[in-house]
Amino acid sequence: MTNFKNWLDTFIDEKDLPMEDTFTVDKNGTLNIMTYKTIYEHMLIAHKDEQKQLKNMIVKIDFNNGNILDYFKHLGQAISKEVVWTLEPKQHGSLDK
């Protein structure tokens, strides 16, 4: 992971990515607000094989002059949460006296 972290830190610094900026992800009606740093932190705890895939995709996007932050937003979809609310009818006592 250290090699990946060093590479990613260098990449972020060189591209001057705004890691503290926020963006939103809508997951089935649940709005998630997160920073790009949140995505970075999840990348660091990913499995080594996933880190390799992340690095390959970032390099590919960068090589094609793509927007890395759009990719971070895409990754945000995978880590965002969906909140399911269940509404149960209130239990009312009898209105008859």
pLDDT at 87: 57
Contact in structure between 79 and 38 (CB atoms under 8 Å): yes
| Domain limits, the chain | 2-79
On the question of pLDDT at 1 being above 90, the answer is no
The dihedral formed by the CA atoms of 41, 46, 49 and 53, expressed in degrees to the nearest 10: -40
Residue 17 near residue 68 (C-beta atoms within 8 A): yes
- Residue 97, pLDDT score: 47
Mean pLDDT over each residue of the chain, to the nearest integer = 88
The tens digit of pLDDT for each residue in 17-63 reads: 999 999 999 888 888 899 999 999 999 999 999 999 999 999 999 99
Q: For the stretch 11-39, what's the b/e string if a residue is b when 16 or more beta carbons lie within 10 angstroms of its beta carbon?
A: ebeeeebebeeebebeeeeeebebbbbbb
